[in-house]
Amino acid sequence: MSSPSLRNRSMALHTRLNRDFDVRQSHARRFTLQFARLFLLIGALAAAITVLVLQPTPASAADQDFSQFIAALWPDAEKQGVSRQTFDDAFKGMTPDKAIIALTRKQAEFVKPVFAYLDGAVTAGRIAKGKGLSEEWSQTLDKIQARYGVDWQIVVGVWGMESNFGANPGNIDTIRALATLAHAQYRGTFFRTELLIALKILEQGDVERQAMRGSWAGAMGQTQFMPSSFEKYAVALDGSGRRDIWKSTPDALASTANYLKAHGWVSGETWGFEVTLPPGFDFAEISEKPLSYWTGKGFVLASGEALPGSGTASLLMPMGRTGAIFLVTPNFQVIKSYNNSTSYALAVALLGDRIAGEGPLKKAWPRQMKLLDRSQSIEMQRALVKMGYDIGELDGKVGDKAKEALRAYQKRVGLVPDGFPTVGLLQRMRKS
């Protein structure tokens, strides 16, 4: 028989266990209730989201702003002779093209060396295609050369570079592209002006609205004219009365020759030629000089023959004293007026020469040389600016002004002043 104290302790323990069990049950019921409320809340939120997604959304602020920009364009278009119908048809249902805006912000990480550019431009396939098309259009090209005085192979070189001889002229709506860029104020008012001219072209009837297509930046047709270039230089050679650089090859080629002539092409003169650099040349003068000057300095053609006896030329060293070197005439600068890039102009010239039957370059490019990437190029430009040199635009592209500054710097520190940026030269700048 148990004692009273033992029974009391047993009853107390039983009471405490029952109380603990009740507490745990209460917590479980509260947790279950909270979980159920949370589940209901999630379901309601999902239903609300579904309703929002399925409901039609109003026009965005950006679209409304774009519409206001188009509306504000009308008075200037009207002043230039554009009818209301042409204007409305041009912009019907239009929204800005976000893909084009993205392209304006895209920057290449590496600056492509000239030999890499030429590798992709002056290919065996493009040369063969150019030869075939030159024969097919030989009578037209002869007519164009006789009328404008521009070498036919240069015209064909531009044609090949701009659209692969008309195969890739671009398929982007020119009006929408220009409107998108103008609305974004990319390059200030440049694209707004081009847009107004494009509307004038539509009004004049040279091209149908849906056929006015080209690159994302508004260049049009087989030889990629901006609207302002079309307005000034496009011609109708095929007898249709319409200046059709999209479908008419004669019009596209003649318009290009007319453009080059208007920009100063000298008839009967070449663009330039590859030369051999004489030993000990001090690079003191590379600007335009009579060819007799270069002959006197010991320059000869890369083939070993003497230079022509008349004309003027300047020295072009795309990769400094290494790689191919050229003497280029004022006609080379005319090619650059089409696209202000030395690599582009050289590609047009060399492609045209190869199509006309010339051989490849004599000197190999220094393909193993370590070159600057874009960030390093900008660093070099900033270093030159800090030292007081004018390098032009700080954009990571070592153009003519930057090369001139480099030559001055190299001469000052006792290096060969060839104006070519290298990693070793940047490292020297860092130390100094």
The model carries a pTM of 0.83
Residue 399: how many other CB atoms lie within 10 Å: 15
Q: Please provide the DSSP assignment of 232-256 as one string.
A: HH----SSSSS--TTT-HHHHHHHH
Q: Mean pLDDT throughout 156-170?
A: 98
DSSP code at position 361: -
pLDDT at position 64 is: 80
Residue written as tokens 């070449």? 270
Q: Give the model's confidence band at 109: pLDDT under 50 very low, under 70 low, under 90 confident, else very high.
A: low
| Pairwise CA distance, residues 273 & 362, whole Å | 11
Q: Mean pLDDT throughout 75-92?
A: 98
pLDDT at position 31 is: 39
| Pairwise CA distance, residues 380 & 355, whole Å | 38
Closest CA to 276 of 362, 358, 351, 357: 362
Q: Are 220 and 174 in contact (CB under 8 A)?
A: yes
The burial class, CB within 10 Å (0-12 / 13-18 / 19+), for 186 is middle
328 sits in which H/E element:
strand 325-328
Q: Are 172 and 214 in contact (CB under 8 A)?
A: yes
Task: Give tens-digit pLDDT for 57-81.
Answer: 344 556 789 999 999 999 999 999 9
| Pairwise CA distance, residues 102 & 181, whole Å | 11
Q: Mean pLDDT throughout 46-67?
A: 54
Q: Are 148 and 257 in contact (CB under 8 A)?
A: yes
| Pairwise CA distance, residues 130 & 127, whole Å | 5
| Pairwise CA distance, residues 365 & 419, whole Å | 16
Amino acid at 95: T
pLDDT at position 4 is: 40
Whole-Å CA distances, 100 to 66, 96, 104, 134: 14, 9, 7, 34
Task: Give tens-digit pLDDT for 333-390.
Answer: 999 999 999 999 999 999 999 999 999 999 999 999 888 998 999 999 999 999 999 9
Query: Could you give the dihedral angle defined by the CA atoms of residues 122, 150, 356 and 119, in that order, rounded to the nearest 10 degrees?
Result: -10
| Radius of gyration over every alpha carbon of the chain, rounded to an integer in angstroms | 35
Whole-Å CA distances, 117 to 318, 345, 346, 353: 12, 11, 10, 17
* HEC secondary structure over 54-68: HCCCCCCHHHHHHHH
Task: Give tens-digit pLDDT for 218-233.
Answer: 999 999 999 999 999 9
Beta strands in 103-162 (DSSP E): none
Q: Are 190 and 229 in contact (CB under 8 A)?
A: no
Phi, psi for residue 67 in degrees, rounded to 5: -60, -40
User: Across the chain, which distance is largest between two alpha carbons, in Å?
Assistant: 139
374 sits in which H/E element:
helix 374-386
Q: Are 272 and 328 in contact (CB under 8 A)?
A: yes
For the ranges 187-201, 389-403, 416-430, which has the lowest average pLDDT? 389-403
Closest CA to 132 of 106, 180, 164: 164
| Pairwise CA distance, residues 88 & 207, whole Å | 16
Closest CA to 154 of 263, 79, 230: 263
Question: 11-33 burial, b if ≥16 CB within 10 A, otherwise e?
Answer: eeeeeeeeeeeeeeeeeeeeeee
Q: Give the model's confidence band at 19: pLDDT under 50 very low, under 70 low, under 90 confident, else very high.
A: very low
pLDDT at position 60 is: 58
Name, in order, each residue with C-beta under 8 angstroms of 167's C-beta and a sequence gap of 6 or more. none
Closest CA to 422 of 343, 323, 331, 341: 323
